[in-house]
Amino acid sequence: MFRTAMLFAVLTGIFLAVGYLLAGTGGMTFALILAFVMNFFSYWFSDKIVLSMYKAKEVSKEQNPKLHEIVEKIADNAKIPKPKIYFVDTDMLNAFATGRSPKKAAVAVTKGIMNALDEDELEGVLSHEISHVKNRDTLTSTMAATIGGSLAFLAQMAWYSLILGGRGNRQGGGNLIMLPLLILAPLAASLVQMAISRQREFKADEKGSIISKKPMSLASALLKIENSVSKVKLKGNPATASMFIVNPFRGDSFVHMFMTHPPTAKRVEKLKEMAHKMKV
């Protein structure tokens, strides 16, 4: 909780700095109001924002009874309420979880993952995502992704301001003051990484494997997903990368500087060790 509070305190501070550099004291006041609004909406609506970003559609039990059966079994094993299930229409293999609490959670799977994974592999992936829900990782990751994306947008505004010559009373040297804003997008991405440490992915792999009792199925799924993300592009905000089971923006060399996930080979190695200990 302390690290999460510190993250959002720093993000709010950056909002204020951006406001001041863009429009002085008045801009800082506006940014403070904006930061308050963003924190409020991120807490209550960030899950809906992210699902909307990827045009995720809720899947009813009638539409896919097997998927609902798998999720219900995993949720029962994890001793949490069954999350809502969403479908993302992309050929990329991937999945993510979102929501501010286990009672308000959702898991999303892509068309690619539904077509490419067998039932055991899918169960392994969903167990990983539901372990994130159980550990309440989803609140931090979704809020950080929402606010980080907003900071990237403000940085873009600063870029346009520079191109257009800045505000009328701040010419020449004033534009130099605007230059630091151009690094806010990578800084926001870096802050997201602070919130979502790689250790959380290892823990979700471990807890998910305990829930499903299928560590090798998860390992197999991770290798297939890794292969897919290197070939298929996903349209979205890189600030949300940490929410996915494998970083879907891996092809972006700039984003690669701020890795949100441990290397897949390392994860597979640990899952093999788990399988050996569990003798499965």
Catalytic residue positions? 129
Sequence letter at residue 278? M
Taking the C-alpha atoms of residue 49 and residue 51, their distance in angstroms, rounded to an integer, is 6
DSSP-assigned letter for residue 101:
S
Eight-state DSSP code of residue 82: P
Q: What share of the chain is helix, strand, coil (3-state, %, to 5)?
A: 70, 5, 25
Quick one: DSSP state of residue 83?
A: P
Provide the CA 177 distance to its chain's centre, in angstroms. 31
For residue 19, which of 237, 164, 11 has the smallest C-alpha distance?
Answer: 11
Distance CA 181, CA 156 (A): 8
Pairing of strands 95-98, 84-88: unpaired
- Beta strands 106-110 and 84-88 are parallel
